[in-house]
Amino acid sequence: MYTLGEIAEFIDAKLIGDANIKITSIASTVSAQNDQLTYVVNKRYKPDLIASQAGVVILNDNLLSDCPTNALVVDDVYLAFAKITHYFKKQVTHSTGVHSSAKTNNAKIADGCVIGENVVIGQNCIISTHSSIEDGVTIGDNVYLHPNVTILQGCSIGNNVVISPGAVIGSEGFGNARDQQNHWHAIAHLGNVVIGDNVTIGANTTIDRGTIEDTEIHDGVRIDNLVHIAHNVIVGKDTAIAANTGIAGSTILGKRCMIGGMVGIVGHLNICDDVIVNAKSTVDKDIKTPGMYTGIMPLMLHKQWQNVGLWLVKLDKITKYLNVKLKNLKDQ
């Protein structure tokens, strides 16, 4: 917990408001309460800012007049946010064996496992050798963790879940902000990973924790080996994702989707229910209609790709035009 005065010092911000107000945590602009901090990067989020109940907002001068609460004014909002996240990140106890506060409910825990503080494990669970479960993790009933599984602090695993060897749940997301010297500043990810019931997760798959909100894997999802799911992604019920697929941050996949192997899905997309994406495809825009999609092109300079893409979407019109021309020539 920090006062606004302290936070302003941490990020070198101009404080507009009461320096003595105490802030307990960070939240999204929409969900933040009067004891929480949030941030707004640009005018795209102006409606959320105006309606926000946050105790304080990090923003720049051009949004200050729209701020209904205390403000921390900075030149680079994203960089300031990156810096302040580290002050609110919970520290993990580095113990060996099973922590005395853990509730294991007679789970079968193999040699070499580490179970952190305040972990809760349900009935009939198997925790295989050299697996690590950090502080505050909750695990449901009938969960099977294969060897060398890592579940980091605060994550939640549902019932009847199988996690294969080497999988990592709740790893730090890939979020960074640059300063004026082009040096990177990592963002501490404060959300968790929430996994539903009847989920299977393949070997060496990585699911990153959310930045502020949680990464969510809903009931019945099937995830293959070597899949990377980035921060804040939501995977809908009964979706299946094949090996070597990467899903970038804040993308939402609908229910009953099937994602082929080596698919790349860029961030901040919405993919509707009942979508099939064929192997090696790149998804770079929202998918609003159920169906089967393919998008495979060879590597080329980006400018060349833009030209190719422009012509590809016009091919049907060009074909119709040429057919009309040919028909006219034949009729002459």
Residues recognised as catalytic: 231
What are the residue ranges of helices labelled H in the chain? Answer: 4-11, 46-51, 61-64, 77-85, 302-312, 315-331
- Whether 108 and 125 have beta carbons less than 8 Å apart is answered as yes
Q: Rounded to an integer, what distance in angstroms lies between the CA atom of residue 198 and that of residue 270? A: 24
Q: Rounded to an integer, what distance in angstroms lies between the CA atom of residue 44 and that of residue 67? A: 14
Cα angle, residue 306 at apex, residues 304 and 312 outer, rounded to 5°: 105
Q: Rounded to an integer, what distance in angstroms lies between the CA atom of residue 176 and that of residue 246? A: 18
If we measure between CA atoms, which residue out of 288, 230, 295, 227 comes closest to residue 262? 227
> Which strand ranges, in their side-by-side order, compose the sheet holding 162-163?
108-109, 126-127, 144-145, 162-163, 200-201, 222-223, 240-241, 258-259, 275-277, 291-293
Q: Rounded to an integer, what distance in angstroms lies between the CA atom of residue 195 and that of residue 199? A: 7
Give one DSSP letter per residue of 66-89, joined into a string.
T--SEEEE-S-HHHHHHHHHTTSP
Residue that has been written with the tokens 């922590």 in this structure:
99
Q: Rounded to an integer, what distance in angstroms lies between the CA atom of residue 77 and that of residue 23? A: 18
Amino acid identity of residue 48, one-letter, is: D
